A and B are shown apart, each in its own frame.
Chain A
Amino acid sequence: MPSAISTERISKHFGANRALDQIDFDVAFGEVHALVGENGAGKSTLIRILSGVHQPDAGRILVEGKEQRFAGPHDAIAAGIVTIPQELRLVPALSIAENIALGDLPVRRFGPMALIDRGRLREQGRAVLAQLDFVPDVDCPVSRLSFAERQLVAIGRALHRECRIFILDEPTAALEQHEIERLFSVLKRMRAQGTAIIYISHELDEVVEVADRCTVLRDGRVVASARRGSFAVADLISAMTGRVQDPGGSAPRALGPTLLHMQRGNDQPVSVHAGEMIGLAGLLGSGTEAIMRGLFGVLRPDAGISVGGEPRTLRGPADAIASGIGFSPGERALGLVLNQSVRDNILLASLDQVTRNFVVDRQAGDRIAAELIDLLDIRPRRPELPVRALSGGNQQKVLLAKWLARRVRLLLLEEPTQGIDVGAKAQIHALIRDFVTRGGGALIASSDLAELARLCDAVLAVRQGAITARLDRTAGLDDATLRTAIGA
């Protein structure tokens, strides 16, 4: 029996940059084939070729043994390939239900006229999301959802379509354990029904759990491929990076003065000292996002905030930044000007700092950008490249570089390692640790509880908009206790 889909010697260049080099890849019906690799290894590029977004420079795509040329995404969809891309494409103004059914809206016919069948539309939306244990108001416009919720809607939309080949590019980046488990049970059921599944993730534990086969890409080439049982997390990491992972411990730090303090009603206070990393954990919709945005002046905070010991009213991000606070949102597109260069994005918040006599000092700016590109190992090392051309993980690093350039004292980070490969994740953790050791403070909201447990000195648990508990490292911190605290 031929593979569901396979590639033969696929290559792809972007200008002089080689993203894929003669890739042979295939997935069978009823199989989950995982694709892993460092940021920029070429995973998303391969997926974009399989889903008709990009055309390969060389090589062939075979669907069920027959060669196919995809002129655009519609051709791939017609061939039964459904993709959840890394950068979600939903229509913000339309409702959840409409987004899910987009492309084949249920209609009722009255002679020559066709009207949308609202009732069925809602039902379909609810049914599909129920599989993921997600029960929103399906009439709510997608623009009002959080990034994680939108990720669920995107998954729902893909599930709604009849598909023979299902491709997921980092679908779990912002999801909680519980939703991930639901997604896996859906994937396992689809596999049992004979769907071919390609699954990309940086969470190697997930990969080991769900994949029948795993292929490792490095610098646009296949460097390893193995079947279930013959790969373990450590093997994958060394194949991905070409080196053995060092675990990276955390040295005890001296705490400095309070950088930030917020007290709301009867809540646990939020307080971050210099030298401290505080976590913010909560389930989907629990309100961690509102807390972060309140602290950055985006939303009017309903509580007294003091920065560096003095009460402050933050009227907007500009105020927050002026008091030394930086915020990197969980959704990358909100933090980056995608069409502008890496350099310009890094300097976006520091224009005044690199201005001499009313003129932006290009050399100073170039120097700062180059330093940070080195420090964060942003690849490719080309400050003039538009951020859009960077892989997801590298975009995430640019977001962090922006605030390091501005030399803020307090970082508010939402999902700071979302979409980042294991090697780079350790790098980013080390960078944040380094930042606080040198007198900074960090408040980190993450859906990855294990990450919070490993990284933070204390974690605040958020339930239904209220900060209900503070769990200190000294009292023992692991993802199981965190899960209980947030009510998962």
Chain B
Amino acid sequence: MKHTSTLAAWRGRLAGQIPLISLIALCILTALLTPRFLSPLNLTNILVQSSIMAVIAIGMTFVIVGGGFDLSVGSTAALAGCVASMVMLQTGITAGVVAGIMAGGAVGLVNGLVIAFLDVNPFITTLGTMVLVRGVVFLITGGAPVSGEYGLPGAFVAFGSERFLGIHLLVWVPALLLAILSFVMYATPYGRRVYATGGGREAAYLSGIPVRRVIASTYVWCGALAGLAGVMLAARLQSGQPTAGEFYELTAIAAVVLGGASLHGGEGSLYKSVIGVFIMIVLGNALNLLNVDSYWQRVAVGIVIVAAAAAERLRSRS
């Protein structure tokens, strides 16, 4: 009896770490296939690429755990990058960064209010704002990159390439966010309410949880973090790019699901979503290093997403 119980406990624990195990397996496999994978340059590259997507995926996890969905994050990131660049050129770096994040938060607030208080389907709402926000970006920029006559302020551009303790500043951002927001999700009543609302809206409502406000708040987080990601991207690209962030929403959602979150809500963790981001980025990187044709890359990534989701369902069914 004792024996089976420890065995079962171990199996449960392992099953919870499937994303991490897959990531490690993927890294080992790639390293065996091509030595270039482990070169410092490549590893740094992966970290930096992952950092921006991780910030978006963290916000997306809030929404998905709360039982929702957000397609507008890519457009929101572009909006934030352009707004930040424009304000920065006028008034200064801090004001620019704040304006970018607030622009993202504002898009999130609109999404949240429409979805939570008007009961409009999240898929269709954020599909709408995705298109709408992209339109606004083109309107305010005239379709051209925002970098001013002499480029964005040097200190801001430096943020996209400087390091602290040997690690890119861009990478510190999601690392800090992960630590702080994981604490918010696990240890604060607010975080527990997000899980309860996503897991059983009616039960949460009948337990006195203000479910509409909770749901709306998850979209604000998601929008603001997409805004922050857009600002980071602007620093990296040294300009506000109106076309930036296309398809980011798909990668972010795939990463969150790869990390084991349920699209039905109530399940998911920020840390595992970040693992999911790494899986997506490492996979793309590996296929690149192996010189896989870019059309085939898409096919491969698609297969991985569907297979991972199917494996997850099979596991939870047994």
Is B266 a contact partner of A344 (Cβ separation < 8 A)?
A: no
Stretch at the interface among A99-107, A209-217, A330-338, A367-375: A330-338
Tell me whether A477 is interfacial, beta carbon within 8 Å: no
Residues of chain B within 8 A of A359, CB atoms compared: 187-188
Residues of chain A within 8 A of B12, CB atoms compared: 15
Query: Taking the nearest CB of chain A, how far is it from the CB of B260, in angstroms?
Result: 13
Is B199 a contact partner of A338 (Cβ separation < 8 A)?
A: yes
A402 CA to B192 CA, complexed, in Å = 15
For A79-91 the 0/1 string (1 means CB < 8 A from B) is 0000000000000
Given contacts A317-B206, A317-B207, A317-B208, contact A15 B8 (CB under 8 A): yes
Residues of chain B within 8 A of A321, CB atoms compared: 207-208
Residues of chain A within 8 A of B272, CB atoms compared: none
For A336-376 the 0/1 string (1 means CB < 8 A from B) is 11111000100111011001001110100000000000000
Residues 185-212 (chain B) with a chain A CB within 8 angstroms: 187-189, 192-193, 195-196, 199-200, 202-210
Given contacts A16-B5, A317-B205, contact A340 B188 (CB under 8 A): no
Is B208 a contact partner of A349 (Cβ separation < 8 A)?
A: yes
Query: Taking the nearest CB of chain B, how far is it from the CB of A89, in angstroms?
Result: 16
A54 CA to B181 CA, complexed, in Å = 39
Is A336 a contact partner of B205 (Cβ separation < 8 A)?
A: no
Is A351 a contact partner of B193 (Cβ separation < 8 A)?
A: yes
Query: Taking the nearest CB of chain B, how far is it from the CB of A121, in angstroms?
Result: 29
Report the nearest B residue to A361, measured CB to CB. Answer: B187
Tell me whether B267 is interfacial, beta carbon within 8 Å: yes
Is A340 a contact partner of B195 (Cβ separation < 8 A)?
A: yes
Query: Taking the nearest CB of chain A, how far is it from the CB of B267, in angstroms?
Result: 6
Is B189 a contact partner of A351 (Cβ separation < 8 A)?
A: yes
Given contacts A298-B206, A349-B207, A352-B189, contact A336 B5 (CB under 8 A): no
Tell me whether A318 is interfacial, beta carbon within 8 Å: yes
Query: Taking the nearest CB of chain B, how far is it from the CB of A40, in angstroms?
Result: 18
Report the nearest A residue to B195, measured CB to CB. Answer: A340
Tell me whether B1 is interfacial, beta carbon within 8 Å: yes
Is A339 a contact partner of B266 (Cβ separation < 8 A)?
A: yes
Size class of the contact patch on chain B: 20 to 34
Is A360 a contact partner of B189 (Cβ separation < 8 A)?
A: yes
Tell me whether B4 is interfacial, beta carbon within 8 Å: yes
A113 CA to B266 CA, complexed, in Å = 42
Tell me whether A166 is interfacial, beta carbon within 8 Å: no
A351 CA to B204 CA, complexed, in Å = 12
Tell me whether A327 is interfacial, beta carbon within 8 Å: yes
Query: Taking the nearest CB of chain B, how far is it from the CB of A231, in angstroms?
Result: 33
For B112-154 the 0/1 string (1 means CB < 8 A from A) is 0000000000000000000000000000000000000000000
Is B267 a contact partner of A339 (Cβ separation < 8 A)?
A: yes
How many chain A residues touch the partner (CB < 8 A)? Answer: 33
Query: Taking the nearest CB of chain B, how far is it from the CB of A201, in angstroms?
Result: 26
A338 CA to B199 CA, complexed, in Å = 7
A27 CA to B195 CA, complexed, in Å = 44
Task: Report which of A13, A298, A348, A362 forms a contact with B204, defined as CB distance below 8 A.
Answer: A348
Tell me whether A329 is interfacial, beta carbon within 8 Å: yes
Query: Taking the nearest CB of chain B, how far is it from the CB of A372, in angstroms?
Result: 15
Is B1 a contact partner of A348 (Cβ separation < 8 A)?
A: no
A298 CA to B203 CA, complexed, in Å = 12
Residues of chain A within 8 A of B200, CB atoms compared: 333, 336-340
Which one of B12, B200, B205 has the highest number of Cβ atoms from chain A below 10 Å of its Cβ?
A: B200
Residues 7-27 (chain B) with a chain A CB within 8 angstroms: 8-9, 12
Query: Taking the nearest CB of chain A, how far is it from the CB of B181, in angstroms?
Result: 14
Is B187 a contact partner of A340 (Cβ separation < 8 A)?
A: no
For A293-304 the 0/1 string (1 means CB < 8 A from B) is 000101000000
A340 CA to B264 CA, complexed, in Å = 13
Query: Taking the nearest CB of chain B, how far is it from the CB of A194, in angstroms?
Result: 35
Residues of chain B within 8 A of A338, CB atoms compared: 199-200
Is B1 a contact partner of A344 (Cβ separation < 8 A)?
A: no
Is A402 a contact partner of B187 (Cβ separation < 8 A)?
A: no
Report the nearest B residue to A15, measured CB to CB. Answer: B8
A358 CA to B267 CA, complexed, in Å = 22
Query: Taking the nearest CB of chain B, how far is it from the CB of A109, in angstroms?
Result: 35
Which one of A344, A347, A352, A360 has the highest number of Cβ atoms from chain B below 10 Å of its Cβ?
A: A360
A322 CA to B266 CA, complexed, in Å = 25
Q: List 16 A-B contacts (CB under 8 A).
A: A16-B1, A16-B5, A298-B206, A317-B207, A321-B207, A321-B208, A333-B200, A334-B202, A335-B207, A339-B266, A340-B195, A344-B192, A349-B207, A358-B188, A360-B192, A402-B207
State the 3 A-B residue pairs at the shortest beta-carbon distance, nearest first.
A16-B5, A337-B200, A351-B189
